[in-house]
Amino acid sequence: MSARNQSLSPINRASHLRTDAQSLDQLWEKALILQIIDGRIAATDDALIFCDAAQVATQLNAFNKGERFFLGLGRDDERPYFAWRTTWINEPATEDEKFEGFATLREVGSNLDEIEIALAMHAVGLVNWHAAHPNCPRCGAATVSDLGGAARVCVADSTQHHPRTDPAVIVLVKDSADRILLGHQPVWPDKRFSTFAGFVEPGESFEECVSREVFEEAGVYCNDINYLQSQAWPFPASIMIAFEAITDHPENARPDGEEITEVRWLSRDEMKKAVATADILLPPSISVARKMITAWYVAKDGYTVADLTGGETWR
């Protein structure tokens, strides 16, 4: 890996430390720790809430010991970060009490800074995987966390199991007039539109998946398929591989009637008007779908990010 690539993440995952239990114990004592309960992270409306090892110790009368997962070191100061997955000893009667001071990543992700979003994505992804894999897939025996949370080990046969990430493509479809095609899923609120996406199937390349998913959902074939970027998406365990593609026959676009119930071609002027009049809701700013739409929109002079402010939703 080149030095340039190493600098892309604000966190050094320091995987060499995961095999050294003594070093992890020492790092825990000086770490910033992110508490997670039922997939919710300790946070305010616009920032994560970290605690330290001493504060964790004082909370063990209310919370179970749980599991701790090493997230890495800060690149600038080498400060260690951990996630602490735990549960209440005596669970409060109401969700308001149970989750006071906690939020889902969906709720706060758009407001976090670069370091916080990297930590939160890593932590939530790990916690989701550990919660879903308490037993060995080979023999069914219990598993325990190992390697600072980077693996689970079967207590019966000692096999080691690692987190899995499901690849999914997400596609910004355009035509020769530089309009974009967006679709509406029936599980979304009215007027919510986004790009097209789907999971990569066994034996399928990313490009093949792009072509298949767009045709299945929107009825058009694509060419000029170009990779844009990728994004970790721990909802619950995906990575989104983003592409743009061109269709030569925009007039053939139609929803499949199941996953997609409406499609719309939008020019920049039409997009600006639709957002301003609340005729369209866009995906949240944390998502790569929104980033692709925004990048397309501002690529032409006279169109700014501010034009797209105000209309977004998760569901």
Domain residue spans of the chain: 3-132, 166-308
Q: Identify the helix (H) or strand (E) that includes residue 271.
A: helix 268-276
When the candidates are 2.20.130, 2.60.40, 2.160.10, 3.90.79, the CATH number that belongs to 3-132 is 3.90.79
Mean pLDDT over each residue of the chain, to the nearest integer:
94
Banded pLDDT at 5 (limits 50, 70, 90): very low
The span from the CA of 55 to the CA of 76, in Å, is 25
Q: Could you tell me what percentage of the chain is helix, strand and coil, using 3-state DSSP and rounding each to the nearest 5?
A: 30, 30, 40
When the candidates are 3.40.50.300, 3.40.50.2000, 3.40.50.2300, 3.90.79.10, the CATH number that belongs to 166-308 is 3.90.79.10
| 293 has a pLDDT exceeding 80 | yes
Question: Would you say the CATH fold of 166-308 matches that of 3-132?
Answer: yes
DSSP secondary structure of 124-148? HHHHHHHHH--B-TTT--BEEEEGG
What value does the mean pLDDT take over residues 277-287? 92
| 314 has a pLDDT exceeding 90 | no
Q: pTM of the prediction?
A: 0.88
Query: Phi, psi at residue 81, to the nearest 5°?
Result: -125, 140
Instruction: Tell me the CA distances in angstroms from 48 to 17, 92, 102, 117, 265, one per residue in order.
Output: 24, 22, 9, 9, 38
The span from the CA of 285 to the CA of 60, in Å, is 37
Banded pLDDT at 311 (limits 50, 70, 90): low
Closest to 271 (Cα-Cα) out of 186, 196, 182:
182
Q: Which has the higher per-residue pLDDT, 1 or 182? A: 182
CB 176 within 8 A of CB 253: no
| 253 has a pLDDT exceeding 80 | yes
Banded pLDDT at 76 (limits 50, 70, 90): confident
Closest to 183 (Cα-Cα) out of 133, 219, 144:
219
Query: Phi, psi at residue 148, to the nearest 5°?
Result: 65, 25
| 249 has a pLDDT exceeding 90 | yes
| 137 has a pLDDT exceeding 50 | yes
